[in-house]
Amino acid sequence: MELMDLRIHDHAIIGNGSEAWVSLASRGLM
């Protein structure tokens, strides 16, 4: 859970949240 939290935090800071989810989906997490 901590790893996911860190990842989401990092992605949110880099992709402003919206782009973060797109990146995650592109990676194959969704």
Domain boundaries, the chain: 1-30
Q: How far apart are CA 19 and CA 12, in angstroms?
A: 8
Write the single-letter amino acid at 20.
A
Query: By the 8 A CB rule, do 20 and 12 touch?
Result: yes
Spell out the alpha helix ranges (H) of 1-30. 2-15, 18-27
pLDDT tens sequence across 1-30: 566 565 665 555 555 556 666 666 777 754
pLDDT score for 28: 72
pLDDT score for 26: 74
Q: How far apart are CA 14 and CA 25, in angstroms?
A: 15
Query: By the 8 A CB rule, do 7 and 14 touch?
Result: no
